[in-house]
C-alpha cells in the first residue's frame, strides 16, 4: 500500500478514527477522575467491593441485586490480580478492577450515540459532536460516582435503542432480521440483568414510541405500523418469558425489580395489594415541578406564543415560511427542554459545589442547542413530507426518549419522589447528547454555516468540558478518607483482640458508612444502619442482642450523647466511634 492509498483509507474512515479517539480520550479522562482517591466514590462505593469480594470467596453475591455488573467486576478482578503483588489486600484489587470495569463500558457510550445520531442525521459531524457530548458530560460523571450499575446500564440502553431502530427499519432479508431481533432481545436481557432503571427506561420508551408510531402511521398512510407491532410483540414475549424463568430459578437476583412497585405506589399514593388501586391511579392528579414562579410564567408565555403561531399556521394549511415554523417550535419547546437539562448546580450531590455565575451561565446556555435539535426534529415531522413518512416515523424514537425524560422530570420534582430524583435526572445526558448532535445537521456544509457550526461545536464542547471538570473537582469523591479507614480498621482490631466482643453490634448513621464499616471491620456479627441514632435506639439493640453496642457515625450534626463513650476520634477524621453500653469491658 502506497502513501496515497493509505491517505485515501484514512480519509474514508476519518469519522471512525475520530470516534475511536473520543473513546480513548474518555477512557483516559474517566480513569484519571476515578483514581483521584483510593476508594470507590459515592454512597454505594464499598457496596461494590463487598459484592465482588463475596463472589470471589463464595461464588455468591453479598446481597441480592442485578448480577451482571458484579460478576463482570469479579472477572476483571481475577485478571487484575495476575498483575498485582500477592500481598495486595483484596479490597484494593477489587477497587482497581471495578474502576477499570466501569470505564470500559462508560467510555464506549459514545459509540452507540454516534450511530444513533448518524442514522437519523446522515451527518458524521453531527454524530461525532453528539458522541463527544455523551461522554464529557457532568450528568454521566454523576452516574459514575453514585450509580455505577446505572452508568453501565446506559451503555446497553443506547445499544438497545440503536438495534431497535435497525429492527424498525425493516429493510433486511428474513435471516438478518431474525438475527437483529434476537440481538435486540439479548441486549435488553443484559440491560435487565445490569440495572432496573435503564431497563424501565427502555420498556417505557418503546411503549411511548409505539403510541407515536400508531398515530403517525394512521395520520399519514391510514395504516397500522405492523412492523413495529412485530418487533415489540417479539420483545414482550421473549423478554417476559426469560425474566419469568430467571425469577423462578433465581429470585434473589431480582430484589431491585420491586422498586417498580415502590415507584408506582409513591406515584399514586396507593398500596398495589389493596382493592381499588387501579381506580385510584386514574384519579390521582399529577403536580408540576417547583420552578421559580416568574421564570415559569415567562417560559409559559413564550410557549403559548409559539403554540399560537403553529395553530395559526395549521389553519392556513402550513403556509408560513419554514424559518417561522421552526422558530415557533423553538418557542414551544424551550420549557420542556428546560425540564430535562438540569446540570450541576440544580441537582443534589454528596459533596456540594459552590455556586458559580460562570458555570451557571454555561449550564443555562445548554438549553439552547438542545431546544434547537428537538425543534428541528419536530419541525421535520410537522412538514409531513410524503417522501419521508418512514424516516419521520422512526424519528419518533428520539422524540419518545425526550418525552419519557420530560415525564420523569415532571415526576421527580414532586416531594415524594426525592429518592428517585438523581437517578432519573442524571440519565438525561442521553436525550441531551442525541438532540444537540442532531441539531448541528441543520447547518449545511456551506461556507457561512460551516463557520457557524465550527464555532458552536467548539463553544459547547469546551462548555461541557468545563462543566464536567468543575463537577469532578468538587463532587467526584468517596465518602471516607484514609484516616476514616484507619478508624474502622482499629475498630476491627479492638473487636478481634477480645473474644468477648465477637458478637458485638455496630450501628451506623449513614448507608455509605455502613458499607465501608462492613468492608473494614468485618469481624462484627451484626451491622445496622439508622440515620437517627440515640440512647433509646442503642438500648433497644443492647436489650435485643444482649451484646456490646458500638456506634460509627459522621461527626456532622449534634455532639454524641454524653452517655456514650468516645473510643476512636481522630481530629482529622470525619467519623468517630462510640461505645454505647457497658455490657462488656472494652480493652
- Among 100-104, 171-175, 233-237, 367-371, the range scoring the smallest mean pLDDT is 171-175
The residue with greater pLDDT, 501 or 42, is: 42
The residue with greater pLDDT, 290 or 203, is: 203
| Whether residue 293 is found in the same domain as residue 160 | yes
Does residue 62 lie in a domain region? no
Nearest alpha carbon to residue 208 among 161, 171, 167: 161
**Number of domains within the chain:** 2
Give yes or no for residue 584 having a pLDDT over 60.
no
Cβ neighbours, 10 Å, residue 164: 25
Q: Are 161 and 434 in contact (CB under 8 A)?
A: no
Number of H helices, E strands in the chain: 26, 5
Q: Look up the domain containing 543 and give its range.
A: 482-579
Average pLDDT of the residues in 413-429: 68
- Among 175-184, 350-359, 573-582, the range scoring the smallest mean pLDDT is 350-359
- Among 181-190, 368-377, 530-539, the range scoring the smallest mean pLDDT is 530-539
Average pLDDT, the chain: 81
Does residue 278 lie in a domain region? no
- Among 46-50, 173-177, 229-233, the range scoring the smallest mean pLDDT is 173-177
Confidence of residue 586 (pLDDT cuts 50, 70, 90): very low
Give yes or no for residue 421 having a pLDDT over 70.
no
Give the pLDDT confidence of 340-356 residue by residue, as tens digits. 776 444 444 444 667 77
CA 578 to chain centre: 37
The residue with greater pLDDT, 497 or 585, is: 497
Cβ neighbours, 10 Å, residue 462: 12
Average pLDDT of the residues in 559-568: 83
Give yes or no for residue 103 having a pLDDT over 90.
yes
Confidence of residue 6 (pLDDT cuts 50, 70, 90): low
Percentage of the residues of the chain whose pLDDT score is greater than 90: 26
| Whether residue 352 is found in the same domain as residue 226 | yes
C-alpha cell of 577?
Answer: 466511634
Does residue 42 lie in a domain region? no
Q: What is the pLDDT of residue 178?
A: 84
Give the pLDDT confidence of 402-418 residue by residue, as tens digits. 888 888 777 655 655 55
| Whether residue 471 is found in the same domain as residue 511 | no
What distance in Å separates the CA atoms of residue 574 and residue 513, rounded to the nearest whole number?
11
Helix (H/G/I), strand (E/B), else coil: 143? helix
Give yes or no for residue 271 having a pLDDT over 50.
no
- Among 22-31, 176-185, 225-234, the range scoring the smallest mean pLDDT is 225-234
| Whether residue 115 is found in the same domain as residue 244 | yes
What distance in Å separates the CA atoms of residue 396 and residue 409, rounded to the nearest whole number?
19
Listed residues 475, 503, 530: the one ending a domain? 475
Does residue 354 lie in a domain region? yes
| Whether residue 468 is found in the same domain as residue 513 | no
C-alpha cell of 80?
Answer: 487484575
Give yes or no for residue 192 having a pLDDT over 80.
yes
| Whether residue 508 is found in the same domain as residue 524 | yes
- Among 239-243, 408-412, 543-547, 566-570, the range scoring the smallest mean pLDDT is 408-412
Most confident of 258-262, 276-280, 484-488: 484-488
Average pLDDT of the residues in 134-154: 89
DSSP annotation of 559: P
| Whether residue 234 is found in the same domain as residue 364 | yes
Nearest alpha carbon to residue 559 among 539, 540, 533, 583: 533
Residues in Cβ contact with 77 at an 8 Å cutoff, skipping those fewer than 6 apart: 52, 56, 93, 94, 97, 98
Does residue 411 lie in a domain region? yes
| Whether residue 203 is found in the same domain as residue 311 | yes
Nearest alpha carbon to residue 246 among 192, 206, 195: 192
Average pLDDT of the residues in 238-256: 70
Global pTM value: 0.85
Does residue 174 lie in a domain region? yes
Does residue 51 lie in a domain region? no
| Whether residue 463 is found in the same domain as residue 511 | no
| Whether residue 432 is found in the same domain as residue 358 | yes
CATH code at 562?
3.40.120
Average pLDDT of the residues in 558-569: 83
Beta strands 526-529 and 565-568: pairing type? unpaired
Does residue 69 lie in a domain region? no
Listed residues 435, 459, 475: the one ending a domain? 475
| Whether residue 112 is found in the same domain as residue 129 | yes
CA 373 to chain centre: 22
Listed residues 445, 475, 505: the one ending a domain? 475
Average pLDDT of the residues in 313-319: 86
Q: What is the pLDDT of residue 563?
A: 79
Confidence of residue 158 (pLDDT cuts 50, 70, 90): very high
Average pLDDT of the residues in 196-219: 86
Q: What is the pLDDT of residue 285?
A: 35
Q: What is the pLDDT of residue 152?
A: 94
Give yes or no for residue 254 having a pLDDT over 60.
no
Q: What is the pLDDT of residue 75?
A: 95
| Whether residue 460 is found in the same domain as residue 524 | no
Q: What is the pLDDT of residue 375?
A: 92
Amino acid at each position: 500500500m502506497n502513501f496515497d492509498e493509505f491517505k485515501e483509507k484514512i480519509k474514508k474512515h476519518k469519522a471512525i478514527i475520530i470516534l475511536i479517539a473520543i473513546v480513548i480520550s474518555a477512557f483516559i479522562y474517566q480513569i484519571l477522575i476515578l483514581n483521584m482517591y483510593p476508594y470507590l466514590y459515592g454512597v454505594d462505593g464499598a457496596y461494590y467491593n463487598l459484592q465482588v469480594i463475596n463472589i470471589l470467596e463464595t461464588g455468591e453475591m453479598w446481597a441480592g441485586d442485578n448480577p451482571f455488573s458484579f460478576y463482570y467486576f469479579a472477572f476483571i478482578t481475577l485478571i487484575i490480580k495476575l498483575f498485582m503483588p500477592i500481598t495486595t489486600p483484596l479490597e484494593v484489587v477489587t477497587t482497581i478492577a471495578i474502576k477499570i470495569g466501569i470505564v470500559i463500558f462508560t467510555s464506549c457510550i459514545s459509540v452507540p450515540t454516534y450511530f444513533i445520531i448518524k442514522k437519523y442525521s446522515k451527518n458524521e459531524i453531527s454524530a461525532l459532536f453528539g458522541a463527544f457530548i455523551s461522554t464529557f458530560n457532568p450528568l454521566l460523571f454523576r452516574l459514575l460516582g453514585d450509580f455505577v450499575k446505572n452508568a453501565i446500564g446506559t451503555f446497553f440502553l443506547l445499544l438497545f435503542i440503536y438495534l431497535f431502530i435497525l429492527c424498525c427499519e425493516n429493510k433486511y432479508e428474513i435471516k438478518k432480521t431474525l438475527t437483529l431481533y434476537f440481538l435486540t432481545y439479548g441486549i435488553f436481557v443484559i440491560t435487565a440483568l445490569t440495572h432496573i432503571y435503564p431497563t424501565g427506561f427502555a420498556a417505557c420508551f418503546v411503549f411511548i414510541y409505539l403510541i407515536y408510531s400508531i398515530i403517525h402511521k394512521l395520520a399519514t398512510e391510514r395504516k397500522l405500523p405492523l412492523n413495529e407491532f412485530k418487533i415489540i410483540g417479539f420483545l414482550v414475549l421473549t423478554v417476559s418469558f426469560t425474566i419469568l424463568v430467571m425469577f423462578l430459578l433465581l429470585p434473589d437476583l431480582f430484589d431491585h425489580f420491586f422498586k417498580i412497585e415502590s415507584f408506582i405506589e409513591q406515584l399514586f399514593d396507593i398500596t398495589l395489594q389493596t382493592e381499588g388501586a387501579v381506580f385510584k391511579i386514574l384519579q390521582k392528579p399529577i403536580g408540576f415541578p417547583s420552578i421559580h414562579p416568574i421564570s415559569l410564567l415567562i417560559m409559559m408565555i413564550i410557549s403559548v406564543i409559539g403554540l399560537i403561531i403553529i395553530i395559526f399556521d395549521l389553519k392556513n394549511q402550513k403556509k408560513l415560511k419554514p424559518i417561522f415554523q421552526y422558530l415557533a417550535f423553538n418557542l414551544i419547546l424551550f420549557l420542556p427542554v428546560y425540564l430535562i437539562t438540569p446540570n450541576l448546580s440544580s441537582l443534589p450531590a454528596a459533596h456540594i459545589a459552590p455556586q458559580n455565575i460562570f458555570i451557571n451561565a454555561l449550564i443555562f446556555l445548554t438549553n439552547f442547542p438542545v431546544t434547537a435539535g428537538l425543534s428541528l426534529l419536530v419541525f421535520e415531522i410537522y412538514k409531513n413530507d410524503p417522501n419521508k413518512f418512514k424516516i419521520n416515523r422512526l424519528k419518533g424514537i428520539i422524540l419518545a426518549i425526550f418525552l419519557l425524560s420530560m415525564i420523569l422530570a415532571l415526576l421527580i420534582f414532586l416531594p415524594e419522589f426525592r429518592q428517585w430524583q438523581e437517578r432519573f435526572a442524571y440519565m438525561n445526558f442521553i436525550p441531551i447528547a442525541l438532540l444537540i448532535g442532531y441539531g448541528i445537521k441543520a447547518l449545511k456544509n456551506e461556507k457561512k454555516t460551516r463557520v457557524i457550526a465550527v464555532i458552536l461545536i467548539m463553544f459547547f464542547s469546551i462548555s461541557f468540558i468545563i462543566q464536567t471538570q468543575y463537577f469532578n473537582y468538587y463532587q467526584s469523591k468517596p465518602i471516607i478518607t484514609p484516616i476514616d479507614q484507619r478508624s474502622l480498621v482499629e475498630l476491627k482490631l479492638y473487636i478481634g483482640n477480645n473474644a468477648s466482643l465477637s458478637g458485638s453490634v455496630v450501628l451506623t448513621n449513614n448507608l455509605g458508612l455502613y458499607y465501608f464499616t462492613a468492608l473494614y471491620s468485618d469481624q462484627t456479627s451484626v451491622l445496622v444502619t439508622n440515620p437517627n441514632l440515640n440512647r433509646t435506639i442503642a438500648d433497644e439493640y443492647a436489650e435485643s442482642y444482649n451484646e456490646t453496642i458500638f456506634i460509627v457515625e459522621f461527626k456532622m450534626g449534634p455532639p454524641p450523647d454524653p452517655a456514650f463513650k468516645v473510643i476512636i476520634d481522630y481530629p482529622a477524621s470525619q467519623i468517630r466511634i462510640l461505645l454505647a453500653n457497658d455490657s462488656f469491658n472494652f480493652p
